[in-house]
Amino acid sequence: MTAVHSTCPYCGVGCGVIAGGEAVRGDPAHPSNRGRLCSKGAALSRTLDDSFRLTEPLLGGVPAGWDSALDHIAGRFADTIARHGPDSVAFYVSGQFLTEDYYVANKLMKGFIGSANIDSNSRLCMASTVAGHVRAFGEDVVPGTYDDWEQADLVVLVGSNTAWCHPVLHQRLQAARAARGTKVVVLDPRRTATAEAADLHLPLAPDSDVAAFNGLLVHLAGSGALDDAWIGRHATGLADALAAARADAPCLDAVAARCGVDPEALETFYAWFAATEHSVTAFSQGVNQSTGGTDKVNAIINVHLATGRIGRPGMGPFSLTGQPNAMGGREVGALANQLAAHLRFDHAEDRAVLRDFWQAPNLATTPGLKAIELFEAVADGRVKAIWIAATNPVASMPRAGRVRQALADCPFVVVSDCWPTDTTALADVVLPAAGWGEKDGTVTSSERRISRQRPFRAAPGLARPDWWAFAQVARRLGWADHFAWDGPAAIFREHAALSARANDGCRLFDIGALAGLDDAAYDALRSVRWPLPAGAAGEGGRLFALGGFPTADGRARLVPVRAPEPRPDGAFVLNTGRVRDQWHSMTRTGRVPELAAHTPEPLLSIHPGDAARLGLADGALARVETPEGAVVLRVGTTHAQRRGEVFAPMHWSGTFASHGTVARATGAGCDPLSGQPGLKSTPARVAPLPAHFEGLLLRRIPGTAPDGVHWVRIPLPAGELFRLAGLDAQPEGDALARLLGAPAGAEIIEMADPGRLTFRRAALLGGELHAILALARTRAALPSEAALADLLGRRVVPTTRPRLLAGIATAPAEGPRICACLGVSEAAIRHAIVTHRLHSIAELGAMLGAGTNCGSCVPELERILRDVREPAL
Ligand SMILES: Nc1nc2c(c(=O)[nH]1)N[C@H]1C(S)=C(S)[C@@H](COP(=O)(O)OP(=O)(O)OC[C@H]3O[C@@H](n4cnc5c(=O)[nH]c(N)nc54)[C@H](O)[C@@H]3O)O[C@H]1N2
Ligand SMILES: Nc1nc2c(c(=O)[nH]1)N[C@H]1C(S)=C(S)[C@@H](COP(=O)(O)OP(=O)(O)OC[C@H]3O[C@@H](n4cnc5c(=O)[nH]c(N)nc54)[C@H](O)[C@@H]3O)O[C@H]1N2
Ligand code: SF4
Ligand SMILES: [Mo]
């Protein structure tokens, strides 16, 4: 197979990849990554297994052809619209759509069905940044580029675990830091891998960011760091913003107290920022996912406007986009409060441009329902038909239990996905979508860079691209002429032409130069950054250094913002987010053994002091309960966590853990401007949940999860492992047989020691180990996972029989696998450091290979090195 150049389907860094044969590697010529990939990117080829894919449309759970599925969808949507009006239907789509998919779905809903009820999972991700950008700049535009990260002398990371969530950009930053001494400051309540790799970490209290940045604005004003000349020409609102900031920040100590940080550390941050012209402030979900997220965004932008540090090399506020095409979704306007191509709902002339361009009979005139409101409308019956695509809301929306019930009760639910999920389980119609490696189109990264995703493999079965399914339904609804594209290139040309329509520079999103690409040129398109108006000399660069903001007066706005009241003490704050090697609800990454090794199961991170107070031991089960629902997770005590706060990963859906879907527990309080939910801080109660027994279940053939116990599913090279915990007494008889799930005809061997409450039962098929169940009173009394995993699928001979049924642990636990690429565990790393007296990452790499491939684990290697070498610190 020839090598195909494409783009990584995960985070918003947008790394270029080359796919060919079995391997997927970094594209040395792509400007985002210059050949680098992180652990997820490096494992991409491992996700291209079709075993679990959806391969045919399902109608009521029964395989159906595309024609009958599409006819049925069109019929039900038409009928619902005829009887209840256009606002009785909705689409819920995703930043994992390609721009072309997004464009088609948005055009169908807003231009033709005549409702703006299309929202995206970007509502949970980027909505506050969009609102903050529009307030400050007049348009949703990221002013800077990735190069700024390498040209800055100070990079401030706010609510961003860049080392794990945008790893290649983090590596670029760390390389620049090594080369030129860039200072890095991290504002995050947790001591993350990113904080470990910084010069200064401010472990601020949740949602105290506005106070911190208001304090900075006051400090800048007091230290002569404001750029009065620039503000005078290019911005308004300084006096009001400063007055609001002063009210929050009467003195440094007051701010430090509000943020719960050391005043000296805060002062150091302020002094560095005041003294460093080349400063970038990058932010992500610790900023956006807050009930005051838009104010946080503007508090950050304010300090850059006040110092005129924007749009010049090495400076500016920088929003990190999460998904591969979060930015593309904003360009096509597929949020309920946007129109396409940065046209605005509340401007009649913008609506006229779009109506005319689309020849749209029913263009929506008012914004639609934002995600949280949208699912509320499904719950109360206002929305009666919904099409969900490329997102898994039953696992990712706050108040997910309510979302599940809403979908179960909704008269008509269509779900497009590549794999079965917790959401497809509730669908009337399931559509099999072509996935990464099969689809063809474009995505836009955090720095406005448009790159191609190109197909290099056939979609399994009948899977088809999303744009095609939406266009097919549009044709069946009677709009064939308007949805007649023969492929993604034609859609992209239309999208590019729209961006240039009636655009004399009033909208910065203009890619008119690409409107004339023929199919061959689209196929060959190299990555380019917008703005790219017709006749542009080169790709788009930095914006706003000389003003030119897309507002009525051409000036930016400093926005007066106030810090929210601190929370009353008492309840814990439940913080949620990501781990290094998993992607969202794990449909792609969750079945790859190499990616499971770093964090095999979802842990509740809690400060050891809090754990002791609650009587929670490391590894014990804890129940986390909020007004919305509860999860049960194992405890991982860590000093990286502030007291009074706990952290749980967002990834483990009902497919991968019995009680681990944190979305069920997260609250649905939203930012009033953006409608983005505050997923990072839900008040919660934490309590021990004693387990009646502990267990392991290993199976050769992955299958349905066990019933009636607490379990976590972990993929193995030769099958799968479930870690079990008993919420009731040890099962017996039939319950036990069901738990093992041995096929008929299997040879069963068993060992029970009722006195010590230990129990083993193994099923052999043709003499090979097919499944094994081990139960014990405590985890310590269980056999080693690695030893059992090693026997799975192998012939059981007299010498291995005793190992199978041994009553005690046969190998010490290895601890988490730190280097995913070379499979190096924390235990091995610690051992090597001590025995070989290693002092550097380079020595560790030479010795064990750890950190030498993708480099995603380097921040953790540094932490372990420090831990071992300087245990007192
Ligand atoms: N490995 C991995 N990478 C990913 C993804 C993934 O699923 N897995 N998803 C991608 C997507 S869609 C997104 S949106 C990004 C998200 O990327 P990030 O935003 O970097 O990731 P999160 O872990 O959600 O949250 C970041 C941090 O915000 C902190 N935080 C919580 N509350 C506050 C607060 O009040 N103030 C501050 N300053 N910080 C706070 C949390 O402790 C957390 O460490 O990652 C992208 N990259
Ligand atoms: N508690 C908590 N909740 C959160 C967050 C958090 O930090 N904490 N973060 C929020 C954020 S920032 C985000 S972005 C969301 C992510 O939440 P989701 O969007 O629900 O997460 P994914 O698991 O990526 O879901 C994408 C789905 O699309 C499927 N898919 C992949 N490619 C395609 C395709 O080409 N076509 C189709 N039709 N399907 C495809 C995948 O199999 C998967 O089921 O979660 C949000 N929810
Ligand atoms: S940093 Fe990693 S996940 Fe993000 S685009 Fe690059 S390779 Fe993919
Ligand atoms: Mo996201």
Euclidean distance between the first and the last CA atom of the chain, given in angstroms as a whole number = 53
Q: Does domain 572-688 have CATH number 2.40.40.20?
A: yes
Q: How many Cβ atoms sit within 10 Å of the Cβ of residue 864?
A: 17
Q: Which helix (H) or strand (E) holds 195?
A: helix 193-196
pLDDT per residue as tens digits for the range 825-859 = 888 899 899 888 898 999 999 888 899 888 889 99
Torsion, Cα of 279, 285, 287, 291 (10° steps): 170
Which of 285-299, 403-417, 693-707 has the lowest average pLDDT? 693-707
Query: Which residues are near ligand 3 (CB < 6 Å)?
Result: 8, 10-11, 13-15, 33, 37-38, 40-41, 166-168
Ligand 2 center to residue 300 CA distance, Å? 27
| pLDDT for the residue numbered 400 | 97
| pLDDT for the residue numbered 806 | 67
Structural domain boundaries in the chain: 4-47, 58-125+325-529, 135-319, 572-688, 693-806, 817-872
| pLDDT for the residue numbered 813 | 55
Average pLDDT over residues 137-161: 98
Ligand 3 center to residue 23 CA distance, Å? 16
Query: Which residues are near ligand 1 (CB < 6 Å)?
Result: 11, 125, 158-161, 164-165, 187-190, 192, 206-207, 209, 284-286, 290, 322-323, 575, 577-578, 580, 582-584, 680
Cα 119 to Cα 786: distance, rounded to the nearest angstrom: 44
The whole model's pTM is what? 0.96
* CATH superfamily ID and name for 817-872: BFD-like [2Fe-2S]-binding domain (1.10.10.1100)
| pLDDT > 90 fraction of the chain, expressed in percent and rounded | 85
Q: Which helix (H) or strand (E) holds 40?
A: helix 39-42
| pLDDT for the residue numbered 823 | 84
Average pLDDT over residues 318-328: 96
Q: Higher-confidence residue: 88 or 790? A: 88
Residues 6+ apart with CB under 8 A from 840: 865
pLDDT per residue as tens digits for the range 793-819 = 989 888 777 777 764 444 445 678 899
The mean predicted confidence, pLDDT, of the chain is 95
Fold of 58-125+325-529: Rossmann fold (3.40.50)
The amino acid occupying position 809 is A
Ligand 3 center to residue 579 CA distance, Å? 14
| pLDDT for the residue numbered 871 | 66
Residues at Cβ < 5 Å from ligand 4 ion: 125, 322
Q: What is the CATH number of domain 135-319?
A: 3.40.228.10
For 13-28, the three-class secondary structure string (H helix, E strand, C coil) is CCCEEEEECCEEEECC
Atom 6, ligand 3: residue with shortest CA distance: 15
Is 1 a residue whose pLDDT tops 90? no
| pLDDT for the residue numbered 873 | 46
Q: Which of 584, 633, 651, 661 to mutate to test the pocket of ligand 2 (most atoms within 8 A of CB)?
A: 584
Query: Which residues are near ligand 2 (CB < 6 Å)?
Result: 94-96, 121, 124-125, 285, 289, 322-323, 389-393, 395-396, 416-419, 421, 433, 435, 439, 466, 576-577, 584-585, 587, 650, 662-663, 666, 679
Q: How many Cβ atoms sit within 10 Å of the Cβ of residue 769?
A: 25
pLDDT per residue as tens digits for the range 761-799 = 999 999 999 999 999 999 988 988 998 998 899 898 887
Q: Which residue bears the tokens 């670029």?
A: 172
**What are the start-end ranges of the H helices in 392-485?**
393-396, 400-409, 466-474
Q: Which of 32, 40, 449 to mutate to test the pocket of ligand 3 (most atoms within 8 A of CB)?
A: 40
At 92, is the secondary structure helix, strand, or coil?
A: strand
Query: Rounded to the nearest 10 degrees, what angle do helices 209-222 and 252-259 cross at?
Result: 160
Ligand 4 center to residue 178 CA distance, Å? 29
Query: Rounded to the nearest 10 degrees, what angle do helices 293-306 and 238-248 cross at?
Result: 120
Q: Which of 11, 158, 576 to mutate to test the pocket of ligand 1 (most atoms within 8 A of CB)?
A: 11
**Which numbered ligand comes closest to the C-alpha of 169?**
3
| pLDDT for the residue numbered 817 | 87
Q: Does domain 4-47 have CATH number 2.60.40.10?
A: no
Which CA distances in Å does 156 have to 637, 806, 842? 28, 53, 27
| pLDDT for the residue numbered 299 | 98
Atom 35, ligand 2: residue with shortest CA distance: 435
For 834-863, the three-class secondary structure string (H helix, E strand, C coil) is HHCCCCCHHHHHHHHCCCCCCCCCHHHHHH
CA-based angle 186:822:867, to the nearest 5? 45
Atom 3, ligand 2: residue with shortest CA distance: 396
Q: How confident is the model at residue 544 (pLDDT cuts 50, 70, 90)?
A: very high
The token duo for 771 is: 């499944």
